[in-house]
Chains A and B, each alone.
Chain A
Amino acid sequence: MNLSDPIVYLSLLVFLPALGALVLAFFPRGREEAIRYTTLGFTIFTFMLTLGLFLNDKGVRFEEGAAGMQNLFAAPWIPSFGIQYVMGLDGISFPLVVLTAFLSVLAMLASWPIKKHVKAYCILFLLLETGMIGVFMALDFFLFYVFWEVMLLPMYFLIGVWGGPRKEYAAIKFFLYTLLGSVLMLIAILMLYFNSDLTLLNPQQLVDAGIVKVEPARRGAEAQSVDAAFESWRDGDDPLAQRFKEIQAETDPAKRRQLPTFNILALQRIGQLENTPFNEDLWLGKSIQWWAFLLLLVGFIIKVPSVPLHTWLPDAHVEAPTPISMILAGILLKMGGYGIIRICYPICPAAGYDLAYFVCLIGVVSMVWGAFAALAQNDFKRMVAYSSVSHMGYVVLGLGVWSLGQWTGEPGSFTYNADYWKMGVNGAMFQMIAHGISSAGMFFCVGVLYDRVHHRNLNEFGGIFGRMPVYSGFAIAIFFAGLGLPGLCGFIGEVFVVLSVWKYSQVLAVISAFVVILTAGYILWAIQRVYLGAEYRGPHGEALTPMTMREMVIAVPLVAFAILLGVYPQSLLNYMQPSVDRQVDQLASWTQQYDTDRAALQESIGKDDEQMAEASKR
């Protein structure tokens, strides 16, 4: 047990909050302040562990500028089901893990006004944090699924017990939507599992997937070569390796069996093989990966959420207590986007290529729909909730853009150039982080007001600036960050996405640029109705006291990060971009290969007979 071992460090990072929950369970009743501080201590310690990844110069560290999976480890968990305990970090997951740990600290600070059943609240909160961090670090499909579901029950109770007047309805709606999505995901997992085959991969790919472990360079010994590591693994006594060897030794192709896997990285490699087993026909003339992509996409866009599967979100957000709204908007929604970028596209590229326009369309529709719905709200929190739908639309759009290269003057001369595609995906990832900060901040600002005046009706506010100037300053900064004002964090992601879409579809680009105006409309209007105006005339005016110290501690870092990311986006991109670029490059070269193959196929059969080509493909 040594902290410089990734398995220990990352496991501690994931399970420390759960450990905290266990500790809290033995606290006596009535010691509420002690329980709160202990919980806060655990969230802070978890956050410090993520910060340790920046600093720790020996052992476990997250390297800036490296593209590959870092601190990857694999250990057996349930060998009889073929499920492994695989975790790792790369530029896609690392910023999200840090964001999760960071927002958990702030949300716990924001939980001080909660007075009911404090012990149960803190236990559930910590369990939720374990689930959230686990989702971003898990690289075994099942581990991912388990963490994904672990979040549901704490979330249900956190909304259902500590929520607003319609809490039970909102909680069950949230649960039901997410569970339905994850059940579809489960079917997709099984489809991919049974059609995957580890023996299709070469040693380098097995090493990349964490299945084969290469001994690093030590004093007196050079680093093991990939082939040597592969051979020593294959001849070792690992049961998986033995089955691998057995299957590879079988020369008769008719008797050859598969070695299915749940490893997400291995599935990515298998999905991007030239003749991947996922291309087999499944139903209605569509391939396995097409259906798997669709099922996974539905599961993920429920979480994002995208129109038309977004209706749980306004209810859940409005009814949830403030800190839980912060977590919901700041982190839970990001899981959908994370799933799409980590699982949907790399594992099912052909389906993603086929459905790219559909995904982009979902993104754009969500943006427009969410913006219009936000304009129509009178409830402050509901408005912010719909703004999340709109902002997360950018994420889906940016991830879906398959803008690969450009046609030059004469027909047939297509130059492959993935720059705009990279820009879109980076923009989407940036938008996820930025939205994590700005939406958590917006919900917090709503909560601050609600704690004082106990209503959220936009039309009864006004004149808050005069009563609470410091708070209003922070709030307006946060809302401008959400609006996408240049110099604040929201701008970078939006502009990247809109620019990249132009190369893919000009119609969608125009519409998505137009949404910026709508966003400005509802946010400015809300600021005008709440903060500006002569004086506050709504109920409980006497309760409008200035911000407390605790509230300042929450607001200051949020605003600071919103400005930092807006002024110097490279601080985030340095960590994120290499991994995103690498994934896009892989997909781009896959697409080029795919297009070439298809073109060659069509040429060999005859250009005018497309149907024949289709038939022979089957």
Chain B
Amino acid sequence: MTLQTIIDSLISDTVQTSLPLFRPELALCATIVVLLLSRVFPLLDRIPPVAIAFVGAVAALVLAMPEGGMASLGSIPRIELFTGMLVYDSVTVYLRLFLMGFAVLFVILSSLTGIADRNDGQDFYSLVFGATIGMCIMASSNHLLSLFLGVEMASVPSYVLSGIVKGRRRSSEAALKYAVYGAGAAGVMLYGASLLAGLLGTAHIPTMAQRLVEFDVASKLADRELSVMVLALGGLMLGVGLAFKLSAVPFHFWCPDVFEGASAEVDGFLSVVSKAAALALLVRVGIGFGSEPANMARPGDPPPSLAGAASLDAGATGGALQFVAQRGVEDDGVEEPANAELAETPLSPVRTFFVTIVAVVGVVSCTFGNLAAYGQKNIKRMFAYSTIAHAGFMMMPVAAAVALLGRNPSAASEAIAALLLYATIYLFMNLGAFAIVAFLRNSMQSEEIKDYAGLIGRSPVIAVAMTLILVSLIGLPPLAGFWPKLRVLQSLYEAGGPLLMFVMVAAAINTAISLVYYLRVAKTMCIDPQPDTSRPVQLGFLSTSYVVAITLPVVLLGFAPDRVAQWTQQAAAGLFG
């Protein structure tokens, strides 16, 4: 193989395969460029930045639609892009749609609340779109390098965004705290990634999984070899970075301060898409390291070359299952499949390690977040703890999915579908909540819960919408927030085992715990008398319509979640071939 052929195949791979599938991100990149250039060219400067941003976001959303419509979600093949750096599959497509859809809604919100005015708009939207591209990379990451790149691309603009309101001490403090914390976490994560890559000789996640099979963790563990310790350490350090992005306990300390200091719109951004992207990354890591590659039956194969990486494509994850099933058919036995189900596969220790950590961190985050939210007086701070709790809840199906990987791939796919459904419905709930907080801040200059007293008399639509959103966040039927919680509990039950059963019971009881603080806000708005000193609340027609438009899905998806649930199921099924 000469240098020329490598370069040729690289170019053809990039231009013919990768870039066309990368169009939504490219659209955002182009929008950023236009936004930045608009400062330079006076003609462009006349156009309000929000218009450019809106057009860019809508274009990205349209490009992110799968070609055959949503129905074709399940039939999207798994393709590795950019020589294995990224992976394009149904989950990538679904999450990109999710991120782009959020971007559109977010642009509308920011123009309604006026956070991005004419002078600041270019910067604001460039940062938002930059972070969104980073999140897309996180969601489709297939390589430790792109993983790190994605996390940093999503984080760095977020640091700036949280301090975008200039001249406010709290805001700057939040941004600084976020940046310092983020830098520390990124360093640890990079170290962990380098340990893993060094030990396994590659950073391409499917190849790493294959190396892990060859590494034979189980027997090394039995021999008490130190290299297993290094491996575990690398995994843990990688986990630190993820936990930071997820604001999972014990790496959650930045979250309340940043949420309180940053503006409500940015909080909405951080709490919805940033969390969703981090969870997608967790899925990529968990599924990537947890499932045996297709060709594991032939250990000692040369690692796939640069151009050949794409040939790994479909079935790399579903492979283990096929292998097991074939063996079951070849043997005559009635018992054989049952044995195969329980058989220890080479990656079982890796899965156990991952499941234990994710499940424990998830349940601790969920409980801690719910308990800490009790005492909060500031609504944004309360929602910060609420997002910690929800992130913990959303980690649980990932643990369940990885636990189910070897045994029951269709159940594992259901668990991932539960996560996708959770993220989708969470988008409407949290964006709605923070939109209301932002509108109320503009109207009454306060973000204290006690100032919401008697809101029902001053602005009934907003108070009812907020109450519906809060009740949906608790997870009470018939509002939409109930279904994902139910699906998570279902997947945990199906995964079984003492740990996950405990997690399920704890998660269910957490629903009851969370009731009190969400309901306290609803109570303040709807039951408490209106203080005499309160300022009038005046919301424009557009703002009210926006709130209603975001709240409506929370109600409608509660009655008819079937369509979205099917999409998530198809998307998740694609992950497992």
Contacts from A to B (Cβ < 8 Å): 77-81, 120, 145-146, 149-150, 152-153, 156-157, 160-161, 167-168, 172, 175-176, 179-180, 183-184, 186-187, 190-191, 193-194, 252-255
Contact between A187 and B477, CB atoms less than 8 A apart: no
Distance (whole angstroms) from the CB of B560 to the closest CB of chain A: 8
Q: Kindly identify, within residues 548 to 572 of chain B, every residue whose CB is under 8 Å from any CB belonging to chain A.
A: 560-562, 565-566, 569
Smallest CB separation, B470 vs chain A (Å): 10
Minimum CB–CB distance from A81 to chain B (whole Å) comes to: 7
Is there an interface contact between B562 and A153, defined as CB atoms closer than 8 Å? no
8 Å CB interface, B456-508 against A: 456, 471, 476-478, 482-483, 486-487, 489-490, 493-494, 504-505, 508
CA A94 to CA B519, docked complex, whole Å: 34
CB contacts (< 8 Å) of B505 on chain A: these are 187
Find the A residue at minimum CB distance from B510.
A183
Cβ contact within 8 Å between A187 and B565? no
18 contacts between A and B (CB under 8 A): A77-B562, A79-B562, A80-B562, A80-B569, A81-B483, A81-B486, A81-B565, A120-B456, A146-B478, A146-B482, A149-B476, A176-B512, A183-B508, A186-B508, A187-B489, A190-B490, A254-B335, A254-B337
- The CA-CA distance from A146 to B569 in the complex, in Å, is 22
In the complex, the answer to whether B486 meets A172 with C-beta atoms within 8 Å is no
Which of B476, B487, B566 has the most C-beta atoms of chain A within 10 angstroms of its own C-beta?
Answer: B476
List the 3 closest A-B pairs by CB distance, nearest first.
A146-B477, A80-B565, A180-B512
- The residue of chain A having its C-beta at the shortest distance from the C-beta of B511 within the complex is A183
Please state if B508 and A78 are interface contacts (CB–CB under 8 Å): no
Residues of A within 8 A of B562 (CB): 77-81
CB-CB < 8 A to B456: which residues of A? 120
On whether the beta carbons of A179 and B527 are closer than 8 Å, the reply is no
When chains A and B are docked, how far (Å) is the Cα of A461 from the Cα of B414?
63
CA of A176 to CA of B565, assembled, Å: 29
* Binary A-proximity of B510-543 (CB < 8 A = 1, otherwise 0): 0110011001000100110000000000000000
Q: Closest approach, in angstroms, between the C-beta of B468 and any C-beta of chain A?
A: 9
Q: Is B338 an interface residue (CB 8 A)?
A: yes
Q: Are B509 and A183 in contact (CB under 8 A)?
A: yes
Are A186 and B515 neighbours in the complex by a CB distance under 8 Å?
no
B135 to chain A, nearest CB (A): 27
B43 within 8 A of A: no
B334 at the interface (CB under 8 A from A): yes
- Of B494, B515, B561, most buried by chain A (CB within 10 Å of CB) is B515
For B504, the chain A residues whose CB sits under 8 A away are: 187
- Give chain B residues whose Cβ lies under 8 Å from the Cβ of A153: 471, 476
Q: Are A78 and B337 in contact (CB under 8 A)?
A: no
Docked pose: A120 CA to B526 CA in angstroms:
11
A194→B526 CA distance, assembly (Å): 40
The distance from the CB of B342 to the nearest CB of chain A, in whole angstroms, is: 12
- The answer to whether B519 touches A172, judged by C-beta atoms less than 8 angstroms apart, is yes
Q: A149-B478, A254-B334 are in contact. List 4 more A-B contacts (CB 8 A).
A: A81-B486, A160-B527, A179-B476, A186-B489
Q: Residue of B at shortest CB range from A179?
A: B512
Whether the Cβ atoms of A254 and B515 lie closer than 8 Å is no
Contact indicator B509/A145 (Cβ below 8 Å):
no
Look across to chain B and name the residue whose beta carbon is closest to the beta carbon of A255. Answer: B337
Bound complex: CA A194 to CA B338 (Å): 19
Q: Which residues of B contact A157 (CB under 8 A)?
A: 526-527
> Which residues of chain B have C-beta atoms less than 8 A from A255's C-beta?
337
By size class, the interface of chain B is: 35 or more
CB of A150 within 8 A of CB of B478, answer: yes
**Contact among B335, B494, B515 for A179, CB-based, below 8 A:** B515
- Which residues of chain B have C-beta atoms less than 8 A from A78's C-beta? 483, 560-562, 565
Q: Which residues of A contact B338 (CB under 8 A)?
A: 254
**B504 nearest CB neighbor, chain A only:** A187
Beta-carbon contact of B508 and A187 below 8 Å: yes
Centre residue among A157, A172, A186, A194 by max chain B CB count within 10 A? A186
- Cβ–Cβ contact B511 & A179, under 8 A: yes
- In the complex, the chain B residue whose C-beta lies closest to that of A191 is B493
CA separation between A60 and B53, bound complex, in Å?
58
Cα separation A180 to B513 with both chains bound (whole Å): 9
Contact with A along B399-419 (1 / 0, CB 8 A): 000000000000000000000
User: In the complex, what's the smallest C-beta–C-beta distance from A472 to chain B, in angstroms?
Assistant: 36
Give, as a whole number of angstroms, the nearest-CB distance from A41 to chain B.
24
Return the chain A residue nearest B408 by Cβ: A257
- Complex CA distance for A274 and B566, rounded to whole angstroms: 36
Least Cβ–Cβ distance between B372 and chain A, in angstroms: 19
In the assembled complex, the Cα of A160 lies from the Cα of B456 at a distance in Å of: 14
Measured CB to CB, the closest approach of chain A to B367, in angstroms, equals: 14
Given A81-B565, A253-B334, answer yes or no on A183-B512 (Cβ-Cβ < 8 Å): yes
Residues of chain B with a CB closer than 8 A to A172's CB: 516, 519, 523
- Given A79-B562, A176-B515, A194-B494, A168 and B527 touching (CB < 8 A)? yes
Nearest CB to that of B337 among chain A residues? A254
A80 to B557, CA, bound (A): 14
Contact between chains at A175 and B489 (CB < 8 Å): no
Residue of B nearest to A29 (CB): B460
Contact, CB under 8 Å: B476 / A152: yes
Whether the pair B523, A160 counts as a contact (CB closer than 8 A) is yes
Inter-subunit contact B489/A190 (CB<8 Å): yes
Contact B483–A80 (Cβ < 8 Å): no
Is there contact, CB below 8 Å, between A150 and B477?
A: yes
In the bound complex, residues from chain B placing their C-beta under 8 Å from that of A190 are 489-490, 493
Shortest Cβ gap from A29 to chain B (Å): 9
Residues of B within 8 A of A150 (CB): 477-478
Q: How far is the CA of A454 from the CA of B512 in the complex (A)?
A: 35
The CA-CA distance from A253 to B335 in the complex, in Å, is 10
| B476 x A161 contact (CB < 8 A) | no
Q: Is A194's CB under 8 angstroms from B493's CB?
A: yes
Of the candidates A161, A167, A184, A190, the one having the most CB atoms from chain B within 10 angstroms of its own CB is A190
Q: How far is the CB of B56 from chain A (nearest CB, A)?
A: 34
What residues of B have a CB within 8 angstroms of the CB of A152 in the complex? 476
- A239 → chain B, closest Cβ, in Å? 12
CB distance from A170 to the nearest CB of B (A): 12
A186 touches B527 (CB 8 A): no
B438 → chain A closest CB, angstroms: 25
Which chain A positions have C-beta within 8 A of B334?
252-254
Closest to B476 in A: A149
- How distant is B73 from chain A, measured CB to nearest CB, in Å? 13
B478 CB contacts on chain A under 8 angstroms: 146, 149-150
A190 to B501, CA, bound (A): 12
Most interface-central of B526, B527, B565 (chain A CB within 10 A): B527
Expressed in whole angstroms, the Cα–Cα distance for A193 and B487 within the complex equals: 13
Q: Please, which residues of chain A bring their CB within 8 A of the CB of B336?
A: 254
With a CB–CB cut-off of 8 A, which chain A residues contact B335? 254
Complex Cα spacing A417 to B338, Å: 45
Shortest CB distance B420–A (Å): 13
Residue of B nearest to A252 (CB): B334
A268 to chain B, nearest CB (A): 21
Annotate B59-100 by CB proximity to A: 1 below 8 A, 0 otherwise.
Answer: 000000000000000000000000000000000000000000
With A78-B561, A160-B527, A161-B526 already in contact, the answer to whether A176 and B516 are too (CB < 8 A) is yes
CB distance from B303 to the nearest CB of A (A): 35
Listed residue (A161, A180, A254) with the most chain B CB atoms within 10 angstroms of its CB = A254
Q: Which residues of B contact A77 (CB under 8 A)?
A: 562
A252 to B337, CA, bound (A): 10
In the complex, which residue of chain B has the Cβ closest to the Cβ of A253? B334
Tell me, in angstroms, the Cα distance from A152 to B482 when the chains sit together: 14
Which residues of A sit under 8 angstroms from B486, Cβ to Cβ? 81, 186
Q: Give bound CA distance, A167 to B527, whole Å.
A: 10
**In the complex, which residues of chain A have a beta carbon less than 8 angstroms from the beta carbon of B508?**
183-184, 186-187
A296: min CB distance to chain B, Å: 14
Question: Which residues from chain B contact A254 at a C-beta distance below 8 Å?
Answer: 334-338
- Closest CB-CB distance, A255 to chain B, in whole Å? 6
A549 to chain B, nearest CB (A): 33
How far is the CB of B486 from the nearest CB of chain A, in Å?
7
B548 to chain A, nearest CB (A): 13
Give the distance to chain B from A363, nearest Cβ to Cβ, in Å. 26
Is the beta-carbon distance between A168 and B523 smaller than 8 angstroms?
Answer: yes
